[in-house]
Structure 1
Amino acid sequence: MALLPFRRKEAPGPSGDLSAILSGYSIEVMPRTAAKIDDFKALLPAGTRVYIAHIEGTPIDEMVATAARLADDGFDVMPHFPARIIADARVLEDWIARYQAEAGVTQALLLAGGVAKPHGDFHCSMQLLETGLFDRAGFTRLHVAGHPEGNLDIDPDGSDRAVMEALRWKQAFAERTDAQMAMATQFAFDAAPVLAWSRRLRDEGITLPVHLGIAGPAKLQTLIKFAVACGVGPSLKVLQKRALDVTKLMLPYEPVEILSDLSATADLGLIEQIHIFPLGGIRASADFAARHGAGQQAPVQAEA
């Protein structure tokens, strides 16, 4: 069954009002960062989708325990399945079964993962999809990675030919299955290249909704480190320009500019909602979202 055409839940807000663009945002945690939070219900709106990043070396026991805790608190849990750290189909099937049995998980983010050399049989998310294991287990929502500014791991020459070919494959997969699919993207700092990419995809017949990654509040040095490590493209210039402004150099970065530009844009292409990477801490990101009207949240304290 094909996916329904994308439909925005809320109209963009006026310039300076970020409540609409942040409505329904998702956020990412890791087991070690989640362990620092005593009560997620005091931080995040009820039902928030919480991705659980699976970093190489993290035991599956910790991943599943974190998923169970968040699910028990009423959150919409979406663990990462990084293809290159999954040895084979047997391991994949075991992970799926454990997430379901112990945390009631029925959704997943499938991605290649940041490992240069695969640990086993898989090297990309398409191979995970092709196993059919998620479908047989009754997973209802499958997200894949998006790269608005390209991906040098996939296209070392700087083109986006392989990335676009993969997206067309995933679009075709979505059309022949009943899974709800979307793209969760790498974070960016400038709306212009992201909007151009989103509109280009739509014009080329891609209809997968985009859950756009943005970096939550953090120190400038922290953001530059993560941006370089993650291969952020042209929008990195926003941070570089900020670093040259001595009046802003020591101030924490907040994603107000990119969100304001998106909120004031009539045509967002495929962008459906915002996904926050809490690079400066979960509490800082949750507080930022709450201050800008994203749900009813309690005031939060400094990151532990």
Structure 2
Amino acid sequence: MAWLNFADKSGAETPEPLLSDMIDGWSIEVMPRTSAKIDNFRAILPQGTRVYIAHIDGTPIEDMVATAGRLHAEGFAVMPHIPARSISSRHVLEDWLKRYQGEADVKQALLLGGGVTTPAGEFDSSIQMIETGLFDKMGFTRLHIAGHPEGNKDIDRDGSNRLVDQALLWKQDFSTRTDAKMAIATQFAFDAKSVTAWADRIQAAGVTIPIHVGIAGPTKLQTLIKFAISCGVGPSLKVLQKRAMDLSKLLVPYEPTEVVAGLSEHKAANPHSLIEQLHVFPLGGINAATEWMRKHGSIEAMAAVA
């Protein structure tokens, strides 16, 4: 691990982990409409970067598959969202998976319940999709699941995290029965301590699935607060509200420096932590996010950009 030395108050040098210790190997999330604005992803992403494709309810599957095919052709590992509540039947799920595989050579997927209140059909959760056996049957090599460091009020309305934890332990058990590699991709957060405390808690409960922590790319503070409110992040929202009260920071675009530094410090102090890498939500634009990651990544990561 690479280190920088900073003088503490006594004048002694204290090692601090580089941001690049956490940044190397990051993934990013796009949508069909945002990816259409990028002429060539190879010009801005390190070779082989995993690219998630967010499936917003109402997006035609044709647009999702076409985006997946384009990214695959440009040399990236493609991971589309499979939102349970937007899928009307097992037949539709199977059709989606066949199209992703046949037309875009997709072998990875993020399984999640989805943000729809009323399910379109028989699926209400990612567990129900997993139970169909279709992902193993069709040879998916990597399956990611959603993680909620600050809880999920759509599931546990009382804030107890009881049902969320039960579902995660079920998926932990499934991870021992599937040939696919698994990871937990989390909602974006702005408070490293809430993420690391959650990671420690689920690890103590028996979870061994690696965690890919969601962070927001650079954007206007007002935009970030809007997304934070709509996504229901708790302690993280308080961090943003405190920042908004500081007039010196109000007009300066948010950058994920503090949260990444906190995660890097935790990883350095806890080498067996489940926290494995970062997943970027480019809320201020794909170019702004990738530029920040390249700027703060290692020389090796920057050199990998095609």
TM-score where L is the length of structure 1? 0.92
1-side partners of 2:214 and 2:31: how far apart? 16
Q: In the alignment, which residue of structure 2 is the partner of 1:32?
A: 33
Deviation at 1:267, TM superposition (A): 1.5
Partner of 1:98: 99
- Structure 1 residue 164, shift from structure 2 partner: 0.4
Structure 2: runs of 5+ lacking an equivalent: 5-15
The aligned residue for residue 81 of structure 1 is 82
Q: Which runs of 4+ in 1 moved over 3 A?
A: 11-16
1:267 maps onto 2:284 in alignment: no
What is the distance in 2 between the residues matched to 1:278 and 1:13? 27
Q: 1:17 offset after TM fit, Å?
A: 2.1
Give the Cα separation in 1 of the matches to 2:178 and 2:41: 34
Larger RCO (alpha carbons 8 Å, 6+ apart): 1
CA distance in 1, matches of 2:170, 2:2: 30
**1:179-190 to 2 correspondences below 5 Å:** 179-190=180-191
Contact 2:2–2:17 (CA under 8 A) maintained in structure 1: no
How do residues 1-304 of structure 1 correspond to structure 2 at under 5 angstroms? 11=1, 14=4, 15=16, 17-265=18-266, 266-267=269-270, 269-294=273-298, 295-296=301-302
Equivalent residues, number: 289
- Decide whether aligned partners of structure 1 residues 181 and 16 sit closer, same or farther in structure 2, where only a CA change above 3 A counts: closer
- Alignment identity in percent? 63
Q: 1:233 Cα shift?
A: 1.4
Aligned partner letter, 1:90: H
Question: Which has the higher Rg, Structure 1 or Structure 2?
Answer: 2
When structure 1 is superposed on structure 2, of 259-268 and 224-233 the one drifting more is 259-268
Q: Helix, strand or coil for the counterpart of 1:213?
A: strand
Alpha-carbon distance in structure 2 between the residues aligned to 1:13 and 1:52:
34
Q: Deviations over 1:204-243 (max 9, x none)?
A: 1100100000111010010000000001111211100110
SS of residue paired to 1:275: strand
The answer to whether the 8 A contact 1:112-1:124 is kept is: yes
Call closer, same or farther: CA 1:57–1:260 in 2, change over 3 Å: same
Give the TM-score normalised by the residue count of structure 2. 0.92
For 2:67, the aligned partner's letter is T
| CA deviation after TM superposition for structure 1 residue 62, in Å | 0.4
Greater helix content: 2
Letter in 1 for 2:45: L
Q: Give CA deviations for 1:74-103 in whole Å, capped at 9, x if unaligned.
A: 000000000000000100000000000111
Residue type at the aligned position of 2:270: D
